[in-house]
Chain A
Amino acid sequence: MATLFDLSVPGRRAGAQLPPAAPPPDDLPGELLRRDPPALPEVSELEVVRHYTRLSQRNHGVDTGFYPLGSCTMKYNPRGANALAMLPEFLERHPLAPEGHGQGLLACLHDLQEILAAVTGMAAVSLTPAAGAQGEFAGVRMIRAYHEARGDHQRDEMLIPDSAHGTNPASAVMGGCRAREIPTGPDGDLDLEALDAALGPRTAGIMLTNPSTLGLFERNIQAIARRVHAAGGLLYYDGANLNAILGRVRPGDMGFDVVHLNLHKTFATPHGGGGPGAGPVGVSARLEPFLPIPRVGHDGHDYHWIESADRPQSIGRLSAFAGNLGVALRAYVYARMLGDPGLARVSGHAVLNAAYLMQRLRALGYEAAYPDRRPGHEFIITLKREAHAWGVRALDVAKRLLDFGIHAPTTYFPLQVPECLLIEPTETESKAELDRFVEAMARIREEAEHDPERLRGAPWTTPLRRLDDVRAAREPDLAWRPE
Chain B
Amino acid sequence: MSEIPEDLRYAESHEWLREEADGSLTLGITDHAQEQLGDLVFVELPEVGGDYAAGAECAVVESVKAASDVYCPVAGRVVAVNEALEDAPELVNQSPYGQGWILRLAPSDPTALDGLLDAAGYTRVVAAEDT
Contact = CB atoms under 8 A, between A and B. Distances in A.
11 contacts: A411-B65, A413-B66, A415-B66, A415-B68, A469-B64, A470-B39, A470-B41, A473-B41, A473-B42, A473-B64, A474-B42
A474 B66 contact: no
B36 interface: yes
Contacts of A411: 65
A418 B130 CA distance: 9
B89 interface: yes
Interface string A443-483: 00000000000000000000000000110011000000000
Nearest to B88: A474
Contacts of A384: 130
Interface residues of A, number: 10
Contacts, number: 20
Contacts of A470: 39, 41, 64
A412 B39 contact: no
Interface of A: 384, 411-413, 415, 418, 469-470, 473-474
A205 B117 CA distance: 35
A384 B36 CA distance: 11
Interface of B: 36, 39, 41-42, 64-66, 68, 89-90, 129-130
A470 B90 CA distance: 10
A474 B41 contact: yes
B37 to A, nearest CB: 10
Contacts of A474: 41-42, 89-90
A223 B80 CA distance: 47
Q: Which 7 A-B pairs have the closest CB atoms?
A: A473-B41, A470-B39, A412-B65, A469-B64, A474-B41, A473-B64, A470-B64
A142 to B, nearest CB: 28
Contacts of A413: 66
B89 to A, nearest CB: 7
Contact of A418 (B36, B68, B89, B90): B36
B69 to A, nearest CB: 10
B36 to A, nearest CB: 7
Contacts of B89: 474
A48 B60 CA distance: 44
Contacts of B64: 469-470, 473
A413 B89 CA distance: 22
A452 to B, nearest CB: 18
Contacts of A415: 66, 68
B41 A412 contact: no
Most buried by A among B41, B42, B130: B41
Contacts of B65: 411-412
Nearest to A474: B41
B58 to A, nearest CB: 16
A470 B39 CA distance: 7
A412 B36 CA distance: 10
B50 to A, nearest CB: 18
Contacts of B130: 384
A470 B36 CA distance: 15
Nearest to A411: B65
B44 to A, nearest CB: 14
B81 to A, nearest CB: 19
Nearest to B66: A415
A470 B37 CA distance: 12
